[in-house]
């Protein structure tokens, strides 16, 4: 059993921060251990409703977030049903109003373009009110700046910002990034992480054991 198992609040007396995996009920959302969400505006337990938007079971699109991610207040994940079809001559979503227009309810998904899952790696930090669009994959260790709009895949350990989000810099040099991706410290046991915590925090990768 992990520290984040069966527990909602990681900090005593702080109900604005939750272990996300323990407040999710939607089978199309998968969250890794220790990943946390902080919300000082709304109840963070309502993440699924307030932050995962236009996400309807009929599309079968999924939100997958890895371990040890930090998600700041108001970050949003915008899914397929937000994408009014651009194949159509009109952006008006006629298939949603199938009763009005004599269309078949089974064709309702024609109203939008399905861009697919949103996949977020491990140790990703998503800044305040960032927006992640459907179909995007964010690599391990990436940082999404405050109010960035992520429209394309983000490579591992890359800091991005702006609208649309563009790389600002890498978090580490290429050698260190390659070693981190090989180490995958987030899959270590809690005992090993605890034993190495000061070294992880110091940034001295050579001293990890």
- The C-alpha torsion from 56 through 5 and 3 to 141, rounded to 10°, is -20
Q: Which of 15, 146, 173, 202 touches ligand COA (CB under 6 A)?
A: 146
The answer to whether 80 and 62 are in contact (CB under 8 A) is no
**Tally of residues, the chain:** 209
CA nearest to 74, candidates 33, 32, 116, 46: 46
- Residue 118 CB: number of other CB atoms within 10 A? 25
For 48, the enclosing helix (H) or strand (E) is: helix 47-50
What is the closest distance, in whole angstroms, from the C-beta atom of residue 27 to ligand COA in the complex? 28
CA angle 194, 200, 204 (to 5 degrees): 140
For residue 208 the two structure tokens come to 């990890």
For this structure, is 84 an active site residue? yes
Considering the candidates 62, 76, 84, 170, report the single residue annotated as catalytic: 84
Give the nearer residue to ligand COA in terms of CB position, either 54 or 125: 125
SS3 134: coil
Q: Which of 44, 95, 127, 139 touches ligand COA (CB under 6 A)?
A: 127
Give the nearer residue to ligand COA in terms of CB position, either 107 or 129: 129
Q: Which of 10, 11, 14, 168 touches ligand COA (CB under 6 A)?
A: 168
Q: Does the footprint of ligand COA cover residue 145 (CB under 6 A)? A: yes
Q: Does the footprint of ligand COA cover residue 180 (CB under 6 A)? A: no
Candidate segments 9-17, 19-27, 138-146, 183-191, binder of ligand COA by CB under 6 A = 138-146
What is the closest distance, in whole angstroms, from the C-beta atom of residue 74 to ligand COA in the complex? 9
Q: Give me the active site residues, please.
A: 84
């Amino acid at each position: 059993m992990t520290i984040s198992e069966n527990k909602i609040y990681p900090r005593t007396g702080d109900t604005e921060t939750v272990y996300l995996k323990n407040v999710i009920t939607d089978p199309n959302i998968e969250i890794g251990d220790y990943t946390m969400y902080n919300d000082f505006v709304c109840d963070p337990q309502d993440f699924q409703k307030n932050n995962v938007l236009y996400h309807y079971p009929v599309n079968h699109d999924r939100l997958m977030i890895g371990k040890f991610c930090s998600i700041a207040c108001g970050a949003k994940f915008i899914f397929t049903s937000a994408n009014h079809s651009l194949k159509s001559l009109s952006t008006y979503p006629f298939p949603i109003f199938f009763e009005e227009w004599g269309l078949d309810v089974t064709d309702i998904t024609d109203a939008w373009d399905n861009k697919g899952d949103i996949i977020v790696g491990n140790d990703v930090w998503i800044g305040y009110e960032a927006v992640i669009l459907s179909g995007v994959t964010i690599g391990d260790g990436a940082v999404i700046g405050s109010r960035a709009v992520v429209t394309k895949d983000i490579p591992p350990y890359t800091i991005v910002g702006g609208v649309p989000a563009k790389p600002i810099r890498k978090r580490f040099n290429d050698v260190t990034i390659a070693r981190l991706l090989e180490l995958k410290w987030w899959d270590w046991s809690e005992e090993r992480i605890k034993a190495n915590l000061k070294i992880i925090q110091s940034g001295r990768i050579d001293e990890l054991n």
